[in-house]
Amino acid sequence: MENLLAEIRNCTVCAASLPNRPRPILQASRRSKIVIIGQAPGQKVQDSGIPWDDQSGKELRRWLGVSKDQFYDPELFALIPMGFCYPGKGISGDLPPRHECAPLWHKTLFDFMKEVKLTVLIGQYAQNSYLEGTKHLTLTTIVKGYNNYLPTYLPLVHPSPRNKIWQKKNHWFEIEVVPALRGIVNKLL
């Protein structure tokens, strides 16, 4: 596993397409219990080299009901994005995750992680990649139907401050999904 993580961290497959020098960011262990698959690091995370080292990560930890120490324990959580490097800025936010990363690395990572009990899928890129038959569904429909994907997967909206408007429109998320997520995580840890 350590060799694989080193190989991923040294990946330069899409270097010519990135705004920064490649710096693949992830956390994983053979014994990880919960995998969180996000989109791609933002510029702040790219600079720090620490997954979810931003406001989104703070909100995600609150949703999960875990401490920072628990979250950054690779034996508890694997933090694997769809795109491992910051993809750059787009018109209305960051660009989508690079399409090369997930097909190149995800399966091999999961082959090493035999103790995974739950995979949390954050955002449509992860959900469309891992959940069959969801490409025609809205993110809201997928997240509201989270029970349909358990016990293997639990889909979430991205915890970005940009999604506060979505959360205000969908008050059921904080009332139903967040407590369910916390309960599952608490049992697994």
Q: Nearest 5°: CA angle at 64, between 188 and 150? A: 55
**DSSP symbol at 17:** G
pLDDT in tens, 164-180: 999 999 999 999 999 99
Q: If you count them, how many residues does the chain have?
A: 189
CA dihedral 32, 35, 37, 43 (to 10 degrees): -50
Angle at which helices 101-112 and 2-9 pack, to 10 degrees? Answer: 170
Question: Given this model, what pLDDT does residue 92 score?
Answer: 81
Question: Given this model, what pLDDT does residue 162 score?
Answer: 87
| Structural domain boundaries, residue 75 | 2-188
Strand-strand pairing, 89-90 and 93-94? antiparallel
Which of the four pLDDT bands, split at 50, 70 and 90, describes residue 90? confident
Enter the pTM of the model: 0.95
pLDDT in tens, 57-83: 999 999 999 999 999 999 999 999 999
Contact, 34 vs 75, CB < 8 A?
Answer: no
Question: Given this model, what pLDDT does residue 54 score?
Answer: 95
Which of the four pLDDT bands, split at 50, 70 and 90, describes residue 84? very high
Which of the four pLDDT bands, split at 50, 70 and 90, describes residue 6? very high
Task: Output the domain CATH number for residue 118.
Answer: 3.40.470.10
How far is Cα 1 from Cα 28, in angstroms, rounded to an integer?
9
Mean pLDDT of 78-100: 93
Contact, 141 vs 114, CB < 8 A?
Answer: no
Domains identified in the chain, total number = 1
